[in-house]
């Protein structure tokens, strides 16, 4: 009985956290879960995956068939950007890679170059509208890693973020904080194949018991 009650509470917290994320009241899973638990007056925190699954349900409920159409459109837009960057080993990552994108999602692309400013110039020369470009630094494995973030506003109204890292970072795969697998993403040929064969394909690992 206690296990059932715990599961119910976790589900309620996951749903509340997902609502906070979907409506933009919170940006990060951890903060959303803590705030949701506080709102509901409980101490249980669900996993990030449980929150992601609730977020997925909310997006389906709110957006209907338009959500699937948007995913295909965003994957095509991603391929267009990646083809411009094809010599920089671009990878599609994030929710558009996973197939879980919703109306507030953007397109996340990783690229690798010793000269990020040249990537910025290339995108501008190819007609992309850059809304922001900045250096960001995060700590990975106890070391600071810098990357150059280029934000694009696309004609469709969607947004994209191209994160340019040093070439030596190309083979360093990160573990996903939501699903626990490695963030492999899709390269140009893989994304093109998905669009040709199954444009709505979900690339989410199966739950383990």
Domain that holds residue 9: 2-63
Structure tokens that stand for 52 in this block: 């992601």
Q: Residue 14 domain-assigned?
A: yes
Same domain, 186 and 85: yes
Assess contact for 165 and 147: CB atoms under 8 A: yes
- Scored b (16 or more CB within 10 A) or e, 131-164 reads eebeeeeeeeeeeeeebbebebebeeebebbbbb
Same domain, 40 and 100: no
Q: Residue 95 domain-assigned?
A: yes
Q: Which of 15, 42, 63 is the last residue of a domain?
A: 63
Q: Which of 18, 37, 63 is the last residue of a domain?
A: 63
Same domain, 15 and 96: no
Assess contact for 58 and 18: CB atoms under 8 A: yes
- What total number of domains does the chain contain? 2
Residues 28-45: tens digit of each pLDDT:
999 999 999 999 999 989
Assess contact for 160 and 77: CB atoms under 8 A: yes
pTM: 0.91
Q: Radius of gyration (Cα) for the chain, nearest Å?
A: 18
Assess contact for 150 and 121: CB atoms under 8 A: no
Residues 43-97: tens digit of each pLDDT:
989 999 999 999 999 999 999 999 999 999 999 999 999 999 999 999 999 999 9
Same domain, 59 and 74: no
CATH code: domain of residue 147: 3.30.460.10
Same domain, 57 and 75: no
Q: Which of 17, 46, 63 is the last residue of a domain?
A: 63
């Amino acid at each position: 009985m206690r296990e059932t009650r715990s599961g119910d509470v976790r589900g309620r917290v996951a749903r509340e956290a997902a609502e906070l994320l979907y409506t933009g009241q919170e940006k990060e899973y951890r903060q959303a879960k803590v705030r949701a638990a506080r709102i509901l007056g409980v101490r249980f925190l669900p996993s990030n995956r449980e929150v992601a699954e609730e977020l997925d349900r909310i997006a389906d409920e709110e957006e209907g068939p338009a959500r699937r159409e948007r995913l295909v459109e965003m994957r095509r837009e991603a391929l267009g950007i990646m083809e411009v960057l094809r010599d920089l080993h671009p990878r599609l990552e994030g929710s558009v890679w996973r197939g879980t994108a919703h109306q507030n999602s953007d397109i996340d692309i990783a690229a690798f170059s010793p000269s990020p400013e040249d990537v910025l110039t290339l995108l501008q020369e190819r007609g992309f509208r850059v809304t922001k470009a900045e250096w960001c630094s995060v700590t990975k494995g106890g070391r600071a890693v810098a990357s150059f973030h280029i934000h694009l506003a696309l004609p469709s109204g969607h947004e994209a973020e191209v994160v340019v890292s040093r070439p030596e970072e190309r083979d360093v795969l990160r573990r996903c904080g939501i699903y626990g697998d490695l963030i492999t993403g899709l390269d140009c040929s893989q994304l093109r194949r998905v669009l040709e064969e199954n444009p709505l394909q979900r690339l989410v690992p199966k739950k383990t018991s």
